Amino acid sequence: MLLRDAQGQPIAIRREDYAAPAYWIDTVDLTFDLDPAKTRVLNRMQMRRNPEVPMQPLRLDGDELNLARVLVNGQGASFRMEGEQLVIDGLPDAFELEIFTTCCPIKNTKLMGLFVSEDTFFTQCEAEGFRRITYFLDRPDVMASYTVTLRAAKAAYPVLLSNGNLVEQGELPEGRHFAKWVDPFKKPSYLFALVAGKLVAREQRIKARSGKEHLLQVYVRAGDLDKTEHAMNSLINSVLWDEARFGLPLDLDRFMIVATSDFNMGAMENKGLNIFNTKYVLANQATATDADYSNIESVVGHEYFHNWSGDRVTCRDWFQLSLKEGLTVFRDQEFSQDLCADASARAVKRIEDVRVLRTAQFPEDAGPMAHPVRPDSYIEISNFYTVTIYEKGAEVVRMMQTLVGRKGFEKGITLYFERHDGQAVTCDDFAQAIADANPESELARLLPQFKRWYSQAGTPRLAAHGVYDAQNRSYTLSVVQSCPPTPGQPTKEPFVIPLNVGLLDASSGRELPLQLEGESEATQGTRTVVLSRAGEQITFTGLDAEPVPSILRGFSAPVILDFEYTDAQLLTLLANDPDPFNRWEAGQRLGLRAALNGIAALATDATPVLNDAYIDAMRSVLRNPQLDAAFKELVLTLPSETYIAEQLDVVDPQRVHLVREAMRAQLATALFADWQWAYEEHHDTGAYSPDPTSSGRRALAGMALNFLCLAARSSGDAVWPGKTLQRFKDAGNMTDRFNALNALVSSGHTLAAQALARFHAIFKDEALVIDKWFSLQAGAPDRGGDILPLVKQLMKHPDFSLKNPNRARSVIFSFCSANPGAFHRPDAAGYVFWSERVIELDAINPQVAARLARALDRWSKLAEPYRSAAREAIARVAAKPDLSKDTHEVVTRALAGN
Ligand code: TRP
Ligand code: ZN
């Protein structure tokens, strides 16, 4: 398989070209002599021809390897290189293949394959990193049994880990030692892992339902042991939850998590040896925020749940990536919800998940990188670890659960794992299993059509319209669905859409009983209506007046709902909807409407954008004794600049920024007394606990401080900034401390400088906290173009490094991807900065560079002069010779996008 065409351009891999492998690898015996400059890898494989495939040469993948020897059945064999592939002809039906290679982990800045981080060896093999360790059939449908021997200097690398069980260890001459690991489960190469270095572990033994004992370990550097308790608790909860909810037990004697500070993504589910970015392991109350605690719980859960959804049953090819990622995100979302003590906390988690989907995935689905949940082609698979594969994929799984019910879904999961245990399968296999376990369900009835969610890209739009018929006492909702064209898909067929609906009484706000036309009785609460045609009508009867419809409750499908709500209807929903998601959504719609009006009216920062009704409604929410603090904080958070921008056909990012800042300033002053009350009422002084209730109180208190400092900015008041600085100094945990710091920085108060200096001094040895310090500054609200010069300054700080992905993200991504008001400058300097950083990063770490490259995905929506300047910056990157496949794919797609 050649990866470049005659012009040297990378060639796309297509899903329809899938062919089973010509050879199987039954066993792999790997011996590593670990050395940072030159690691030797001896790879002995028992292989056989796949009789179902026509006879052809063996082609093994490799990448940046030095090949020393190839033996077939112990004899020197003839082979040739085709690009990076090692090709062997004339092989017998079954044979032993021995390959000896070396590689250079210390120079591995891509962080794929075997690399060194802070003097410790780590591997990252998904998706195609194993080929950087040895020549192999590096594809997920080739599953083998692994035996791994690690040899290294004992003083420098006392801990030697790989997948499975430790079967032997001992001393070697010259101060070296070894450890031998055997993985009892067959696995694809992307799940291989090794770790070697100076590490310590928190350990916990747990007993499963079966009575079997398991050893859980969390490995970190010696100074970090006091930050592993939360990760360990999250792991224990994960093991218990998967067994309780889905009957899926831990299948290993030993389960290990290891943390590294140099990592391209969040974490990796290698069988029995998960490797994590430190960001998703390390936490104590002094260094980690509530958000960090909650992310750690999710990511530990996510990787643990992969042990079944990914490891026991894996993907046939990388086009099926969402088979494991969408399902596992769904599982981690359910896990976090199930750990919540009450319905309000569950709803808060749901709202947070939907917010991610709508601010990140909807733009992706509307831009040049739009792709189906099961893509049809790619140039570089690393570019398809996207919010579409993960988060939209999770929504597709969630819709299946909605269509078959919670119990039915659990039956479906059981059937899926029974049917496919030990196999590499497809998204079709998954959907089929869920449907087969629920033959009477709407999912089974509509399965082929439902699967359009896998094949069609783009966010469907529902145009809904309600008509009340006084004579018949009925209310008819007409719903028309459509889906915009996406690259390679000019037209779309209708989707199956589970639509959760309720009705409220317009005057009392009370929920009304639901009776569909033709039904003899009414029911209470939410109904799921299953849409499958381009246009449908739903008629409710027995209504004395026009109701307020509550549509898409719980965000029951990943769609955009257009309904011409009046302000009064939205205020009714905001005050009364028993569905917390739609209650929150009503507030978002009101805020969005105000923002769009302000933008259209060319509001300046002196123009009031929010009307009294909105301010009063927000005050009522804030003061409502029935609502939880976490929910209030979500309602009072205005839609983000990114989300507002998505609703516009032509975006002037400066105007969006200005209007949103004006809205924030107005909320700050109009609710000043309420914010004071909220702060006094919710800031606690007691012992720290990261549970949802306490973190909700801290979030609301932090929001109040933020607004109080913002109000002080216009009034000149010095009391609240002073109090905030004091709070910053006295805070008993990172959440309160960081929120206070953020309040000073984002209001641009003069006290911010000393607080930032102090913060750095306290935490100079805590890398993850220093990341926060950088990211807060690079992401702060822009005032007259002050952020870009600051970002350039930060890049010269002795603590800055482009090679460490977390640090690069904390400065560069915080500015380019998370601070639109600062990034989109009329003088184009933000784009020039972006193009320089993409090119610079591409030579170090293509995966990270390609992520950064996506910051300008939505360039074609920009107003002039931004649009032309952005296009020019992308073209400058695209014109660079020797670009990685990763970055090349992103920028060429961006340019093709318009
Ligand atoms: N499979 C991992 C997860 O979702 C993520 C992952 C894929 C990854 N490729 C990676 C992590 C490369 C680090 C580097 O859980
Ligand atoms: Zn995953």
Of the candidates 126, 297, 303, 325, the residue annotated as catalytic is 303
399-446 tens-digit pLDDT: 999 999 999 999 999 999 999 999 999 999 999 999 999 999 999 999
Residue nearest to atom 13 of ligand 1 (CA): 265
Q: What is the mean pLDDT of residues 302-313?
A: 99
The chain-wide mean pLDDT, for the chain, equals 97
Tell me the CB-side half-sphere exposure of residue 408, using CA atoms within 13 A: 21
Q: Are 123 and 157 in contact (CB under 8 A)?
A: no
Q: Give alpha helix (H) positions in 146-283.
A: 229-246
Q: How remote is the CA of residue 166 from the centroid of ligand 2, in Å? A: 26
Of 264, 305, 382, 384, the one to substitute when testing ligand 1's pocket (max ligand atoms within 8 A of C-beta) is 264
Q: Quick check: 2 pLDDT over 60?
A: no
Q: How remote is the CA of residue 276 from the centroid of ligand 1, in Å? A: 9
Residue nearest to atom 7 of ligand 1 (CA): 126
Q: Are 60 and 135 in contact (CB under 8 A)?
A: yes
Q: Which of 307, 357, 312 is nearest to 328 (CA)?
A: 307
- Ligand nearest, relative to CA of residue 126: 1
Q: How remote is the CA of residue 130 from the centroid of ligand 2, in Å? A: 18
Predicted confidence at residue 1, as pLDDT, reads 42
Of 112, 124, 327, 378, the one to substitute when testing ligand 1's pocket (max ligand atoms within 8 A of C-beta) is 124
Measure the CA–CA gap between 84 and 62, rounded to whole angstroms: 5
Predicted confidence at residue 606, as pLDDT, reads 63
Residue nearest to atom 5 of ligand 1 (CA): 268
Q: Are 349 and 417 in contact (CB under 8 A)?
A: no
Q: Pocket around ligand 1: residues whose beta carbon is below 6 Å from it? A: 124, 126-127, 263-265, 267-269, 302-303, 325, 385
Predicted confidence at residue 898, as pLDDT, reads 59
Q: What is the mean pLDDT of residues 270-299?
A: 98
Tell me the CB-side half-sphere exposure of residue 389, using CA atoms within 13 A: 18
Q: How remote is the CA of residue 109 from the centroid of ligand 1, in Å? A: 17
Measure the CA–CA gap between 261 and 264, rounded to whole angstroms: 10
In ligand 1, which atom is closest to the CA atom of 303? 15
Q: What is the mean pLDDT of residues 227-255?
A: 98
Q: CB count, 10 Å around CB of 188?
A: 24
The CA-CA-CA angle for residues 637, 643, 647, to 5°, reads 130
Characterise 64 by phi-psi region: left (phi > 0), alpha (psi -120 to 50), beta (else). Answer: left
Give the contacts of 650 (CB within 8 A, at least 6 positions apart): 861, 862, 863
Q: How far is CA 675 from the centre of its chain?
A: 32
Question: In what side-by-side order are the strands of the sheet with 474-482?
Answer: 535-540, 474-482, 461-469, 560-563
508-560 tens-digit pLDDT: 999 999 999 999 999 999 999 999 999 999 999 999 999 999 999 999 999 99
In the chain, the percentage of residues whose pLDDT exceeds 90 is 97
- Ligand nearest, relative to CA of residue 886: 1
Confidence category of residue 687, pLDDT binned at 50, 70, 90: very high
Residue nearest to atom 2 of ligand 1 (CA): 268
Predicted confidence at residue 612, as pLDDT, reads 97
Q: Quick check: 830 pLDDT over 80?
A: yes
767-798 tens-digit pLDDT: 999 999 999 999 999 999 999 999 999 999 99
Q: Are 752 and 788 in contact (CB under 8 A)?
A: no
Q: Which of 859, 886, 887 is nearest to 873 (CA)?
A: 859
Is residue 410 part of the annotated active site? The answer reads: no
Instruction: Encode 806-822 in three state secondary structure.
Output: HHHHHHHHHHHCCCHHH
Confidence category of residue 897, pLDDT binned at 50, 70, 90: confident
pTM above 0.85, yes or no: yes
Residue nearest to atom 15 of ligand 1 (CA): 268
Predicted confidence at residue 209, as pLDDT, reads 86
Q: How remote is the CA of residue 418 from the centroid of ligand 2, in Å? A: 21
Q: How remote is the CA of residue 361 from the centroid of ligand 1, in Å? A: 18
Predicted confidence at residue 605, as pLDDT, reads 57
356-414 tens-digit pLDDT: 999 999 999 999 999 999 999 999 999 999 999 999 999 999 999 999 999 999 999 99
Q: Are 44 and 53 in contact (CB under 8 A)?
A: no
Tokens representing 348?
């808060």
Predicted confidence at residue 686, as pLDDT, reads 87
Predicted confidence at residue 9, as pLDDT, reads 74
Measure the CA–CA gap between 593 and 614, rounded to whole angstroms: 11
Give the contacts of 210 (CB within 8 A, at least 6 positions apart): 249
Q: CB count, 10 Å around CB of 576?
A: 17
85-114 tens-digit pLDDT: 999 999 999 999 999 999 999 999 999 999
- Ligand nearest, relative to CA of residue 280: 1
Confidence category of residue 603, pLDDT binned at 50, 70, 90: low
689-713 tens-digit pLDDT: 999 999 999 999 999 999 999 999 9
Q: Are 655 and 661 in contact (CB under 8 A)?
A: no
Name residue, tokens 């606990």: 689
